[in-house]
């Protein structure tokens, strides 16, 4: 076994779904870059996702530039042939908790040189538990929005005050008052599905216990946000968890530290990116196109797809709709794709393009022709839209998306919230509001927030500062770990 030195060895372990892999791989590259070889980084990917990552992105060759970086893989516990592998997040989390956990523990014990810090996805509670069992310092990375993290933190108080669970057919616009900093905007309908209706109190409490956000002693936390975006709530989080590092937007942070002139940060795509939509965008007028994309997990019913289609057509705006294969017209019972005739692959007319596939999203959002984004409000997509200065129409699907859409519309005033509605008239009205009637108003706001996002990751910016702090702390943790190991003569 290699002699223990003070060189830190960080192990980064994301939940194996696109949004989590993307943001945590950006962090891995930032640490490899900023560490200048002075930080070893191991990125633990699921076998299934790793095959896709090296097939559809340049991650493998790119990371060869960092000699102190390595990929390792692990089984995610789901059968290999499962069609929707990774798209039913609760099944994935369950399988990993039971099957991946012991394998992870073994590989952590065997890692050489020993790991001095685990940066684990906060969505996988077992990562911090195993690290603690082995006495390895652990930092939780939450890829969700700060506001959603904070709401989960306060769930026990919301339940205790009787504001949850929601009782039967209630007024979903009822305000939730027990989460500090959100009293002016948080309604029942802005909570995730497990708080909205169907969940009874025991189910809710089980979720609260599983996340154990507020009852754990303070722990170090990484958030993909920046001071100017989430300032007031971030200050409250800091108060409870003083070692909180807000180092986002991570994709812009990486772009900035790489000094790249490209519109996008390096790819970590798990699908084949279709660049043809960029060529189509090249021929469209400035700011004229609404980009439509619902991310890597959202499933939509056939009738919902038709409502969107009709609303978009009736709005008479230009649009580019990217449809992930298998995501639209999914029939829960029959499990089949039954695409409406209108939405067949490659529909391309003067003012619209429908692409069944996967887009290079950062590049699309950075394209001059794009003037709006109809999104599911995933946190990465939201940050990518913010950095590109593109206003949003939000149609949230699950997890933090219900609250993200509320924050985008009501707090940041960067767009419109269409949650709980899927009606062609509403689609038409909102598209016109965003792209025509309030185009300038939203455009000004979005440009200002984009400017602040870019400033935050430059030298002197808040996210830049927090990343430097994180690196210092990782280095001093390594000194402590190695110090205590040599005292105990382990290495």
404 is a contact residue toward ligand UDP (CB under 6 A): no
- Closest CB to ligand UDP among residues 164, 246: 246
Smallest gap from residue 57 Cβ to ligand UDP (A): 10
Which CB atom, from 117 or from 270, has the smaller least distance to ligand UDP?
270
Close Cβ partners of 140 (under 8 Å, ≥ 6 residues apart) = 119, 120, 121, 122, 128, 219, 220, 221, 222
Nearer to ligand UDP, 322 or 407 (CB): 322
Minimum distance between the CB of residue 483 and ligand UDP, rounded to whole angstroms?
A: 39
Cβ atoms of 384 and 363 closer than 8 Å: no
Asked if residue 426 lies in contact with residue 209, where contact means CB atoms within 8 angstroms, the answer is no
384 counts as binding ligand UDP under rule CB under 6 A? yes
Q: Which of 9, 76, 121, 253 is catalytic?
A: 121
Closer to ligand UDP by CB, 188 or 394: give it: 394
Identity of the residue, 273 or 433, whose beta carbon is nearer to ligand UDP in the bound complex: 273
256 touching ligand UDP, by CB under 6 A: no
The smaller minimum CB distance to ligand UDP, of residues 17 and 431, is found at 17
Residues 190 and 403 sit within 8 Å (Cβ to Cβ): yes
Q: Does 18 bind ligand UDP (CB under 6 A)?
A: yes
What is the closest distance, in whole angstroms, from the C-beta atom of residue 4 to ligand UDP in the complex?
37
CB 372 within 8 A of CB 393: yes
* Active-site residue flag, 473: no
Stretch binding ligand UDP (CB under 6 A), from 158-166, 192-200, 353-361, 410-418:
353-361
Choices 18-26, 54-62, 188-196, 200-208; region in contact with ligand UDP by CB under 6 A: 18-26
* Part of the chain binding ligand UDP (CB under 6 A), chosen from 39-47, 149-157, 376-384, 410-418: 376-384
Whether residue 31 contacts residue 478, with contact meaning beta carbons closer than 8 Å, is answered with no
Give the DSSP letter string of 132-183. HHTT--EEEEE-S-HHHHHHHHTHHHHHHTT--S--SS--TTPBP--STT-T
E strands within 335-461? Answer: 348-349, 352-356, 370-375, 392-394, 415-417
SS (H, E, C) 431-481: HHHHHHHCHHHHHHHHHHHHHHHHHHCCCCCHHHHHHHHHHHHHHHHHHHH
By CB under 6 A, residue 192 contacts ligand UDP: no
Residues 258-317 that bind ligand UDP (CB under 6 A): 269, 293, 295-297
Residue partners of 456: CB distance under 8 A and separation at least 6: 226, 227, 228, 248, 249, 462, 463, 464
> Does residue number 463 form part of the binding site for ligand UDP (CB under 6 A)?
no
CA nearest to 258, candidates 32, 69, 18, 19? 32
Binding residue for ligand UDP, selected from 48, 66, 319, 358, defined by CB under 6 A: 358
For 88, what's the count of Cα atoms within 13 Å in the CB-facing half-sphere?
10
Contact 122, 141 (CB under 8 A): yes
From the list 175, 173, 198, 182, the residue with the least C-alpha distance to 149 is 182
User: Per CB under 6 A, does 361 bind ligand UDP?
Assistant: yes
Q: 314 is written with which tokens?
A: 């009736």
Reply yes or no on whether 230 is catalytic: no
Q: Which residue's CB comes closest to ligand UDP?
A: 378
- State in angstroms the smallest separation of the CB of 20 from ligand UDP: 7
Which candidate in 9, 20, 367, 376 is catalytic?
20
Candidates 211-219, 253-261, 377-385, 440-448: pick the segment binding ligand UDP (CB under 6 A): 377-385
Contacting residues toward ligand UDP, per CB under 6 A: 17-19, 22, 269, 293, 295-297, 322, 358-359, 361-362, 378-381, 384
Q: Which residues are catalytic?
A: 20, 121
């Amino acid at each position: 076994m290699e002699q223990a030195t003070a060189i830190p060895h960080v192990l980064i372990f994301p939940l194996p779904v696109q949004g989590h892999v993307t943001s945590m791989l950006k962090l891995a590259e930032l640490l490899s870059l900023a560490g200048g070889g002075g930080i070893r980084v191991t990125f633990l990917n699921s076998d299934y996702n790793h095959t896709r990552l090296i097939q559809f992105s340049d991650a493998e060759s790119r990371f060869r530039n960092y000699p102190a970086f390595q990929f390792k893989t692990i089984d995610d516990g789901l059968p290999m042939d499962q069609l929707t592998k990774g798209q039913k997040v609760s099944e994935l989390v369950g399988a990993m908790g039971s099957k991946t956990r012991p394998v992870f523990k073994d590989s952590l014990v065997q890692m050489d040189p020993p790991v001095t810090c685990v940066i684990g996805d906060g969505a996988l509670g077992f990562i911090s538990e195993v690290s603690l069992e082995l006495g390895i310092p652990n930092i939780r990375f939450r890829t969700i929005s700060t506001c959603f993290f904070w709401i989960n933190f306060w769930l026990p108080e919301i339940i205790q005050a009787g504001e949850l669970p929601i009782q039967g057919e209630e007024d979903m616009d009822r305000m939730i008052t027990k989460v500090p900093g959100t009293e002016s905007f948080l309604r029942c309908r802005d909570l995730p599905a497990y708080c909205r209706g169907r969940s009874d109190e025991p189910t809710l409490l089980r979720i609260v216990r599983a996340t154990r956000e507020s009852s754990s002693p303070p722990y170090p936390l990484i958030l993909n946000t920046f001071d100017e975006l989430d300032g007031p709530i971030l200050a409250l989080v800091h108060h409870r968890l003083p070692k909180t590092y807000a180092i986002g937007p991570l994709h812009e942070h990486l772009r900035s530290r790489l000094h790249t002139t490209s519109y996008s940060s390096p790819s970590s795509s798990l699908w084949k990116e279709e660049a043809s939509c960029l060529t189509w965008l090249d021929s469209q007028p400035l700011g004229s196109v609404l980009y439509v994309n619902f991310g890597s997990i959202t499933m939509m019913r056939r009738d919902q797809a038709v409502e969107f289609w009709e609303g978009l057509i009736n709005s008479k705006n230009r649009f580019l709709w990217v449809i992930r294969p298998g995501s639209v017209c999914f029939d829960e019972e029959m499990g089949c794709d039954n695409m409406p005739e209108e939405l067949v692959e490659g529909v391309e007319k003067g003012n619209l393009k429908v692409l069944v596939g996967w887009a290079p999203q950062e590049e699309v959002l950075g394209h001059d022709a794009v003037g709006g984004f109809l999104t599911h409000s995933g946190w990465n997509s939201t940050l990518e839209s913010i950095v590109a200065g593109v206003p949003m129409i939000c149609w949230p699907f699950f997890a933090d998306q219900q609250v993200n859409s509320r924050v985008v519309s009501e707090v940041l005033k960067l767009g419109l919230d269409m949650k709980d509605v899927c009606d062609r008239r509403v689609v038409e009205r909102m598209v016109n509001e965003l792209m025509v009637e309030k185009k300038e108003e939203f455009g000004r706001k979005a440009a200002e927030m984009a400017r602040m996002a870019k400033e935050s990751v430059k030298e002197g910016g808040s996210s830049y500062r927090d990343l430097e702090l994180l690196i210092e702390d990782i280095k001093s943790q390594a000194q402590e770990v190695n110090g205590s190991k040599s005292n105990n003569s382990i290495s």
